[in-house]
């Protein structure tokens, strides 16, 4: 029996991949690195961090302390480890890691180096004795939410997209995820998106499991915003979902930021749903926005037993991702 682990289950470490001179961050590398340093240090005070980097010497002087940090020099295309890092499952009571194919979100970007990161980490021994299985199926970690008990929350826009696996039906996707992840139930969101998002509506930008009975989701209150109607339809779907016991989910609305734009006028997909649960803390992104304080209140109510750590991710969102996108937990 297999099951995909929930993010709140015990973690061995969190994987990050730092920006480098040949990446899309090169125009202002130092400012990008400062955000990754902040994320790494927020995690490392109580949990190991694996940092994939181009050259340890280029970044080690940025840290006040490198306790609990492992610097791993490997070539990488980009920094979004959520989508190419290993996905953890439990198989008959034993942890196992799954290495799916990563193709740059449907071939949008070069990803051959990122697609080899998991194999390189395994070869170097960073997964210890935990077995890893490589699977010839395109799947990104940011496209899935698991409650740890067999329920998968996801979006049809991503998993059924023609640029992933040739365009599968929901039934075909479910058959594959039942085999690979041991999934028993699927909650499909058919509505909701964020302008400027390159991932084809990853679930971790829209709605997230907080625990087996609670879902946090992005809610738009501004009727003039382009997202209003789609996110309202998404909310209606969420209200119709039921737990395995047949009960409605507890829904926690996260605010939307004010509209943020790149210099070329493209809207940025800023979202508070891109939070990270670690062994002892909840890290959430901020954007120098008035709604940062509202989001903080929501997270403190949802995670009363964890330290709540805000991280300014305005620099990350300029490249289309945020805090959760740039991290991947490696379970025990």
Given a contact cutoff of 8 angstroms between Cβ atoms, the answer to whether 201 and 193 are in contact is yes
Residue 325 annotated in active site = yes
Residue 109: name the closest of 17, 200, 203 by CA.
200
Q: Which tokens go with 102?
A: 């990563």
DSSP code at position 178: H
pTM: 0.98
Query: What's the confidence (pLDDT) of residue 60?
Result: 87
Query: What's the confidence (pLDDT) of residue 310?
Result: 98
CA 46: distance to chain centroid?
20
Residue 48: name the closest of 74, 83, 15 by CA.
15
What does the alpha-carbon distance between residue 12 and residue 34 come to, in Å, rounded to a whole number? 24
Query: What's the confidence (pLDDT) of residue 17?
Result: 98
What does the alpha-carbon distance between residue 38 and residue 91 come to, in Å, rounded to a whole number? 34
Residue 269: name the closest of 215, 324, 216 by CA.
324
CATH numbers and ranges of domains, the chain: 2-331 (3.75.10.10)
Q: Which tokens go with 222?
A: 């501004």
Q: DSSP strand E in 248-294: where? A: 250-254, 276-277, 281-286
Residue 256: name the closest of 298, 295, 229 by CA.
295
What does the alpha-carbon distance between residue 312 and residue 322 come to, in Å, rounded to a whole number? 9
What does the alpha-carbon distance between residue 77 and residue 109 come to, in Å, rounded to a whole number? 9
* Residues in the chain with pLDDT values less than 70: none
Q: Which of 158, 220, 313, 325 is an active site residue?
A: 325
Query: What's the confidence (pLDDT) of residue 267?
Result: 98
Q: Which tokens go with 181?
A: 């992840």
Tens of pLDDT, residue by residue over 3-43, are 999 999 999 999 999 999 999 999 999 999 999 999 999 99
Provide DSSP, 217-254: EE----TTSTTHHHHHHHHHHHHH-B-TTSPBPEEEEE
Residues 6+ apart with CB under 8 A from 166: none
Query: What's the confidence (pLDDT) of residue 206?
Result: 99
CA angle 159, 201, 142 (to 5 degrees): 70
What does the alpha-carbon distance between residue 76 and residue 82 come to, in Å, rounded to a whole number? 14
Unique residue bearing structure tokens 């340890």 = 56
Tens of pLDDT, residue by residue over 102-126, are 999 999 999 999 999 999 999 999 9
Q: Which tokens go with 121?
A: 């980490």
Tens of pLDDT, residue by residue over 165-174, are 999 999 999 9
């Amino acid at each position: 029996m297999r099951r995909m682990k929930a993010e709140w289950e015990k973690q061995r470490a969190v994987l990050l991949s730092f920006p480098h001179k040949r990446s899309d961050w090169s125009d202002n590398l130092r400012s990008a690195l400062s955000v990754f340093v902040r994320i790494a240090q927020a995690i490392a005070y109580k949990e190991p961090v694996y940092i994939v980097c181009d050259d340890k010497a280029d970044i080690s002087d940025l840290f006040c302390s490198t306790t609990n940090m492992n610097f791993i020099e490997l070539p990488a295309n980009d920094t979004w480890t959520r989508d190419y890092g290993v996905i953890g499952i439990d198989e008959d009571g034993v942890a196992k890691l799954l290495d799916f194919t990563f193709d740059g979100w449907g071939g949008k970007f070069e990803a051959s180096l990122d697609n080899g990161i998991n194999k390189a980490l395994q070869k170097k021994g960073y997964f210890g004795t935990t077995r890893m299985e490589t699977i010839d199926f395109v799947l990104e970690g940011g496209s899935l939410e698991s409650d740890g008990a067999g329920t998968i929350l996801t979006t049809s826009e991503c998993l059924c997209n023609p640029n992933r696996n040739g365009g599968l039906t929901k039934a075909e996707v479910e058959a594959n995820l039942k085999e690979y992840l041991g999934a028993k139930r699927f909650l499909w969101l058919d509505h909701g998106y964020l302008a400027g998002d390159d991932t084809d509506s990853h679930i971790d930008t829209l709605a997230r499991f907080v625990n087996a009975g609670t879902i946090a989701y992005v809610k738009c209150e501004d009727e003039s915003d382009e997202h209003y109607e789609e996110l309202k339809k998404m909310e209606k779907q969420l209200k119709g979902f039921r737990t395995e016991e047949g009960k409605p989910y507890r829904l926690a609305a996260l605010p939307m930021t004010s509209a943020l734009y790149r210099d070329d006028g493209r809207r940025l997909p800023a979202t508070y749903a891109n939070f990270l649960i670690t062994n002892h803390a909840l890290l959430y992104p901020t954007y120098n926005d008035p709604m940062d304080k509202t989001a903080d209140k929501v997270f403190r109510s949802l995670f009363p037993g964890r330290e709540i750590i805000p991280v300014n991710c305005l620099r990350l969102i300029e490249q289309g991702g945020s805090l959760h996108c740039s991290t991947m937990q490696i379970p025990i």
